[in-house]
Chain A
Amino acid sequence: MPSSANDRPPLKRVVKPRGRLTGLLLYVVLTGMAVCLLSGHARAQVVEAAVDCAIQSGSCTKNLGGGTVTLDISPRPVRAMHDLTFTVTFSGIEPAHDPVIDLAMPGMIMGPNRVVLKRAGETTYQGTGVIVRCPSGRRTWKATVTLPDTGSAEFIFDVVY
């Protein structure tokens, strides 16, 4: 049995420096992967969402099924971290179920944030919700209006902090 470092087989003295280098490289790679791939901020920079709804100026309309859906948010300006009223109006569609709105930040997982809508007119639905604030400073949000059995329409807009 070897009794000191000098008595150890040569193979162990050769392996040690390679083990350190391997460990260092592995650390750098894993850390880089963790920061770049798992970071929601990094992915947000990769997935750029174009704003297609000037919600601060007025309502927005999109095609849905064989008709259209109009989204309005009040009060204006539309601010994050404030109670907001979401109004959805359908045209050319006879809703058989209550629609819902899912709020999300494009390219960043923020968790489910659903606004439940109730009928407020023949083809109008309303509900209250909150657009939360992201410490990253990004202000672009997406509201997906889903009418069961018909489809979904996405509205991408900027909020005010």
Chain B
Amino acid sequence: MVGFGHCVGMCGPIAVSLSLSLRAGKVLLPHLLYHAGRITTYALLGAVVGLTGSFTAVTGRIVGIQRGVMIFAGVLIILMGLAMIGWIPLGRIFTDSFRPFGFLSRAFQRLNAACSRGAYYPAGVVLGLLPCGPVYTALVAAARAGMESGEPLQGMFTGSWLMMAFGLGTVPALLLVGRLASLGWLTRREVIYRLSSILMIALGVYFIVKAVRF
């Protein structure tokens, strides 16, 4: 319920951006990898708050990182939107004909060739740090469960399992949004891609503004 009510509004734009950037390609595996990355981060955070028994001690230390992740997410969505309509030659950076910085471009080329879909997992790990009310609430519960368990190690596992279950609960709603946005069922998609690019750029700016105000 929390997933459908809150997550679609907050993380739905990211799921939509991922689908649109994949164009008409298969979207299920990249989305699953992205969500697996998110759940990994949630489980790690749950383990830490469960082990320490304190939500505020942990979240107080990562608020700066979370602000940075929000800005990163906003910039990423803007870049994806600009690249989709060809306003920046992001795709050309990964081809053999463009080598501005030598080592850097070769590294990008290898990464793109080897695991362009696998990159969604680390993206999910990073974006799992996005500040989110329901995630915080779940972490509070994980910290409380850890505190009540009595044993730090048991608290760590309890907190981790709790957050994994929470993360799994958010997947159906976001998978549905991502699937709807994949546009595989549309016969003519280019107009939608252009409109969606503008929407993505606006959403990216919105993320950055929220990060500055956070």
**Which chain A residues have a beta carbon within 8 Å of chain B's beta carbons?**
16, 19-20, 23-24, 27, 30-31, 34-35, 38-43, 81-83, 105, 108-113, 129-130, 132-137
Contacts and interface: CB of A to CB of B under 8 A. Distances in A.
Given A109-B1, A132-B136, A35 B131 contact: no
A40 B5 contact: yes
Nearest to A135: B131
Contacts of B22: none
Contacts, number: 101
Contact of A135 (B2, B186, B210): B210
A27 B56 contact: no
Given A39-B9, A108-B133, A109-B2, A16 B192 contact: no
B161 interface: no
A27 B186 contact: yes
Interface residues of B, number: 40
B133 A134 contact: yes
Contacts of B92: none
B2 to A, nearest CB: 5
Contacts of B60: 81
B134 A109 contact: yes
Given A27-B183, A134-B133, 13 more contacts: A20-B188, A34-B8, A38-B5, A38-B173, A81-B56, A83-B54, A109-B2, A111-B133, A113-B141, A130-B140, A133-B131, A135-B131, A135-B214
A80 B140 CA distance: 12
Name the residue in B5, B10, B183 with the highest tally of chain A Cβ atoms < 10 Å from its Cβ: B5
B55 interface: yes
Contacts of B1: 109
Contacts of B59: 81
Contact of A112 (B4, B10, B137, B213): B137
Contacts of B130: 135
A76 B183 CA distance: 51
